[in-house]
Amino acid sequence: MASKRKKKNKKLSPTLLLFCVIISVSVLIFAITLQGLLHPVTTEEVNHSEDEFISELLPYAKKLQEQYGILPSIILGQAILESDWGKSELSQNYYNLFGMKASASDKKIGLHTKEYEKGECIEITADFKVYDSWESSMTDHTLLFVNGVSWNPTLYQPVLQAKNYKEAAQALQTAGYATDPTYASKIIEVIETYQLSQYDQ
């Protein structure tokens, strides 16, 4: 009788093993499916997030245009490029949408950043301004164009006087807003990809 039981167990073992494998695979597939259902990453979701970011900044960008003449496409384009759609540490934690550097008297935070020196990209630690809101950041960004800098109050006037976003983007690069030698083309690409110039009317 003992030998028969042993023989019977040998026949059942592969079946039990296959059953366990099927169950394990099923559980794994269910877990992956559930994760996808709980947080699916879709093109629609990404686009919706981008639309929300633009919609959140647009009303105040239009207000700044009415007050100072700055093109909303430049505000939005720079905000998208500099803050990675408001997802950067600087924009999320410190409300700095434009990578605005801090002076000695400003409330600031030191963060790692990339700069171009003699055509080479290097990483440095720089002091950036800290704001109370994205609107405060947008106001300060526009006032930089209006008031310029201590050594040249008219440095950014060409940005305000530009007839279109292409001229404004080139004026930003010429004035030295960023050290990236391709800064103007990157701003233009963002504006054209997301059709931001429609808001300049």
Question: Which positions ≥6 away from 164 have C-beta within 8 Å?
Answer: 71, 197, 200
Q: Is residue 35 part of a domain?
A: no
User: What pLDDT shows up at residue 4?
Assistant: 46
The CATH number of whichever domain residue 125 belongs to comes to: 1.10.530.10
Helix (H) or strand (E) holding 112: strand 108-117
User: What would the pLDDT profile of 56-92 be if each residue is shown by its tens digit?
Assistant: 999 999 999 999 999 999 999 999 999 999 999 999 9
Question: Which positions ≥6 away from 133 have C-beta within 8 Å?
Answer: 95
**What count of residues does the chain have?**
201
Q: Is residue 58 part of a domain?
A: no
Residue 191's domain spans which residues? 70-200
Q: Which long-range contacts (CB under 8 A, 24 or more apart) does 95-99 make?
A: 95/130, 95/131, 95/132, 95/133, 95/134, 95/136, 95/137, 96/128, 96/129, 96/130, 96/131, 96/137, 97/57, 97/134, 97/137, 97/138, 97/141, 98/137, 98/141, 99/128, 99/178
Q: What is the DSSP letter of 164?
A: S
48 has a pLDDT exceeding 70: no
Q: Is residue 75 part of a domain?
A: yes
Q: Is residue 26 part of a domain?
A: no
User: What would the pLDDT profile of 23-32 be if each residue is shown by its tens digit?
Assistant: 766 656 555 4
- Read off φ and ψ for residue 110, nearest 5 degrees: -90, 125
Q: Which of 45, 52, 115, 132 is catalytic?
A: 115
Q: Is residue 129 part of a domain?
A: yes
Where does the chain have alpha helices with state H?
2-38, 43-68, 72-83, 89-94, 134-147, 157-161, 165-175, 183-193
Rounded Cα–Cα distance for residues 40 and 177 (Å): 38
Q: Is 167 a catalytic residue?
A: no
**CA 108-114-117 angle, 5° bins:** 115
Q: Is residue 143 part of a domain?
A: yes
Q: Is 140 a catalytic residue?
A: yes
Q: Is residue 4 part of a domain?
A: no
User: What pLDDT shows up at residue 40?
Assistant: 44
The pTM of the whole model exceeds 0.85:
no
User: What pLDDT shows up at residue 110?
Assistant: 84
Number of domains in the chain: 1
Q: What is the DSSP letter of 199?
A: G
Q: Is residue 172 part of a domain?
A: yes
Q: Which of 140, 167, 189, 192 is catalytic?
A: 140
